[in-house]
Chains A and B, each alone.
Chain A
Amino acid sequence: MASGSKFNSTTRLAYLFLLPAFLVMGLVVFYPFVYNVVVSFSNMNLTHFRDWEITGFGNYLQVFADNSFWYFFFKTVLWTVLNLVFHVGIGVFLALILNKNIKGKSIYRTLLILPWAVPQYITALTWRGMFNAEYGAVNLFLNDLFGIEIAWLSSEWGAFTACLITNIWLGFPFMMVIALGGLQSIPDSLYEAADIDGASPWQKFRQITLPMLKPVMVPAIVLGVIWTFNNFNVVWLVSNGGEPSETTHILVSWVYRAAFFYYRMGYAAAFSMIIFLILFIFSWRFILKTGATENVYG
C-alpha cells in the first residue's frame, strides 16, 4: 500500500530535499571521519607518511599509557566545567536583569553581546597582550588597586586562568541570548498566579523560571560543553601554543601539537577518536538524563 511505504510521494519529496545535504555531509564529515578511524589504527608518522600500514590498537594503548593524556583530560574537564559554570551563571544572571523593564535596555543588550561579535582571534590576542606581567592592563590594574602582580603567562595555572577568563568573556553572551529568549517565552500569567499565592522571588525563580528555562538551556549547555571541550583557538592563542612548558593544553590543542608539530598522525588520530567518544557518550547520556528534548508542558 502506497501510504504505508516509507518512500511514498510525500516522504520522497522530503528525502529529495535532504539529498544535497547528505551528499555534502558525506564528503566533508563521514569520509574524513572514516579515514580518521582507519589512520588511528596505523603507524602513520613523518617516516611512514605515504607507506603507512595498519598496526592494530597500538596507538590507543599508547594514548592511555601516556601520562599527558590523563593530565590534559583532567585539565580539559576542569576547563569545561569552570567555563560552563561561569557562562551559564553570568548569562542567566544578565538575562534576568535584561528581562526586567529597565531604562536603556537595548543599549545594555547590545553592549553585552559585543564580546560575541568580535572575532575570537582578535579577542584572544588582545587578552594575551593584556595579561603581560609587566605591561599588561590586567596587572597594571591589579597593581594600582591591590599592589599585586601575577605571572599570568609564565606560570602553569596563571596561563590556565588567563585562558579561562578570556573564554568566559567570549562565551557568556551566547548563554545570555539563549536565556533571554527562554525568559521572554514564559507567560506572565504564571508569575501573576504565583504572586496571588504569595510566592517569594526565590520561589518564583525556582518553581517557574528554572523549569521553564530548562528546555532551551539544556541543548545550549550541551552545545556549550562540546564547543568548550574543543575550544582550540582560545587556549592556543592565549597560551602561545601551550606555554609555559607545554602545560597549558586541553586535549584538542595537544592533538594538534602531536599531529602537526610532532607529525605523529596515527597517534593523533587515535587521540582524536577518544575525544570524540568522550563527547559522544557525554552528550547522549546528558540529553537522556535531562530529558532536554521533551516538551516542557508534556
Chain B
Amino acid sequence: MNKNAIVNSILRFIILITFLSLFPGCQGESPKRILVWSTLRPVEREFLAEKLAEFGKRYPDYEFKELYYQPEELRPNYMISALAGKGPAVIHMASDNIGPLAELEVIMPLEDHFEPAFLDSFLTEPFSANTRHNGHLYQLADRIGNHLALVYNKDYVTEAPETIDDLIALGNADWAQDNDGDGKADRYVVAWNFIEPFFVVPFLGLYDGWIMDEQNRPTLNTSAMSNACQLIYDLANKHRIIPRECDYETANAMFLDGKSAMIINGPWSWGTYIKRGMNIGLARIPRNAETGSWASPIVSPLGYMLNVNLEGEELAISKELVRFLTSPSVQLESSKRFNLIPSRTELFDHPDLSEDPLYQAAIDQMLVGRAMPVVTELRWIWDAMRPAYQGIFTGTYTAEDAAAEMQKLAEKLIRENRQ
C-alpha cells in the first residue's frame, strides 16, 4: 500500500468511529433506568432507596435509582435537562416549584393519567394534598405539611414557650448565659436559619401579614413585614438570645451538639433528631402576646411529579412507581418512621400515628399555618425578599426601608419576567 492509501484508510476509520460514537444505540444495549431526583435528607433517602429496590423487583430489566439535589439546585438542573428532552423520570420536591416548572412545560399534567377514585383518596382538608396549577394537576403528594415548627430538646427545656415574651425570658435564663466567660452564651435558647426568607414568613403571622394578595401581587411593604423583620433583628442583636450569624447548617449543628436548646425546623429534619436519640418535643412557634396571633409557617405538600418527556413503557412504569410510593402502606411506614403527615385520607387519623405526641404537635402547628401559593410569582418574591432582609443585619437598611426595598425588587422582577 502506498502512503496515500494508508492515510485514506485511517481517515475512513476515524470518521466511522467518530460518527458511531455520536449514536448511543451503536454502543451496545444501555441499561433501562428510572431515575428519581429528590431533595430528601439522608435518612429519608435511605427509605426511598429501600422502596425503589422493593418496587424494582416488579421490573427486573429496569434499574431504579434516586439522586439527591439541594432544592435550589434541583430546579434549574431539572429545567435544563428536561428542556433538552432528558432528565429523571420522576422528581420529588415541594409544591412551590410547580409554577415555574409548569410554565416551562417540563412537568406532565397528571389528571388524565390517574383515575378519579384514586385522586379522591388524597386529603383535601385541612389542606389540599395534590397540587393544581392553571387547572391542571401536576403533583401527587406523599405528605402534607412540610411546615416549620419549634423543636425543643427536653433535656434543656421542659415546656416550650407559648409567647415571644416567654421565649425571650427563656433566653435570659441562667443556662443560656455566658457562664464560662468566653464572651458568648454557653447555649442559645433557639437557633434557626433566620437569614432565609422562607424562615421569616412564619413571623409575619404574628402581625397578621402575608406575602401576596389574592391577585398574586406582592404585599411586602407592610407594617407586618417591618415588624417581623425588626423582631428577628432584636432577638439577635438586642436580646441576644439567638446567634448573630446562623445559616441552616449552623443552626442544625448547634441543635445537634446541644449548643441551642431549640430549633425552628421542618419535618425533613425531625427524623434525624430522633435517629440520633435526642429527646425532642414539637410545639407551635410562639405567638404574639399582644395580638394573640400565632406564627404561621407555610404549609405545602411534598410529592412526585413526572417528566413531560416520558412516553411508552417508561411512562407506564413511572406512573405505577408514583402510585406505589404514595400508597397507604408506604406512607404509613414513612410517616411512623419520620413523623410525617400522610397525604392519604385514610391515614390522617390512623391510630398508629395519631397517638404519637409528635404527630399531634405537627398537626397542631400545621393548623395555624398558611397554604403555600402555587404561583410563579412566589419564586420572585422569595428572591426579592433576600437582599433587603439581609441588609437589616448588615446595617444597610432599617426594617421599614427593607420592607419597601423588598416590594420594589419583587415588582421589578415580576415586571421583567412578564415583559
Which of A's residues lie within 8 Å of B, judged by CB? Answer: 9, 12-13, 16-17, 19-20, 23, 43, 45-47, 49-50, 129, 132-135, 143, 149, 151, 153-156, 240-241, 243-247, 260-264, 267
Contact = CB atoms under 8 A, between A and B. Distances in A.
A167 to B, nearest CB: 20
Contacts of B346: none
B360 to A, nearest CB: 34
B103 interface: yes
Contacts of B72: 241, 261
Contacts of A45: 416-417, 419
A46 B383 CA distance: 15
Nearest to A143: B183
Contacts of A17: 14
Contact of B419 (A43, A143, A154): A43
B10 A16 contact: yes
Contacts of B419: 43, 45, 47
B386 A245 contact: yes
B245 A134 contact: yes
B11 A16 contact: yes
A262 B387 CA distance: 14
Contacts of A240: 247
Interface stretch (B222-230, B284-292, B328-336, B388-396): B388-396
B383 A134 contact: no
Label chain A's interface by main secondary structure: loop
A39 to B, nearest CB: 13
A149 B11 CA distance: 66
A46 B183 contact: no
A9 B104 contact: no
- B interface residue count range (under 10 / 10 to 19 / 20 to 34 / 35 or more): 35 or more
B388 A245 contact: yes
Given A17-B14, A46-B100, A245-B390, 16 more contacts: A13-B10, A19-B15, A46-B103, A46-B104, A47-B417, A49-B83, A50-B104, A133-B244, A133-B245, A134-B245, A154-B390, A243-B195, A244-B390, A244-B391, A261-B379, A264-B417
Contact of A245 (B10, B76, B394): B394
A61 B413 CA distance: 17
A245 B391 contact: yes
A11 to B, nearest CB: 10
Contacts of A19: 11, 14-15, 18
Contacts of A9: 3-4, 7
Contacts of A132: 245, 250
Contacts of B245: 132-134, 151, 153-154
Contacts of A23: 18
B198 to A, nearest CB: 14
B416 A243 contact: no
A45 B394 CA distance: 32
B94 to A, nearest CB: 16
Nearest to A20: B18
A272 to B, nearest CB: 15
A245 B387 contact: yes
Nearest to A140: B182
A192 B17 CA distance: 55
Contacts of B75: 260
